[in-house]
Amino acid sequence: MKGEILVFILSLFWIALCMRFWFMIDREHPMQRRLIAIGAGLGGGLIYILGTMLLSVWREAEKQPKPTSAPQTEEFRIQVK
């Protein structure tokens, strides 16, 4: 649950950062403002999607059994004739 909240906050942070630049751009440059807005939306969405995908992979890796500390060994004896 904490991971999803962290990913959501990170995507909101990206959108807020882009919107800061959006407000800094003068209204005389509407194309730049549109591109910044598109970048904010796409970037925030991609951060959220990739973050949730990485969280699911990380949780699946945690569920797998961990290897034992001492590996199983077999004893071999070689006889010379």
CA quadruple 57, 60, 66, 67: dihedral positive or negative?
negative
Q: Determine the Cα angle at 74 with ends 68 and 79, to 5°.
A: 160
User: How high does pLDDT run on average in the chain?
Assistant: 89
Q: Look at residue 46 and tell me whether its pLDDT is greater than 90.
A: yes
Three-state DSSP state, 18:
helix
Structure tokens, 22: 């959006």
What percent of the chain stands above pLDDT 70? Answer: 93
Show me where the domains of the chain are located: 2-60
- With 90 as the cut, is the pLDDT of residue 65 above it? no
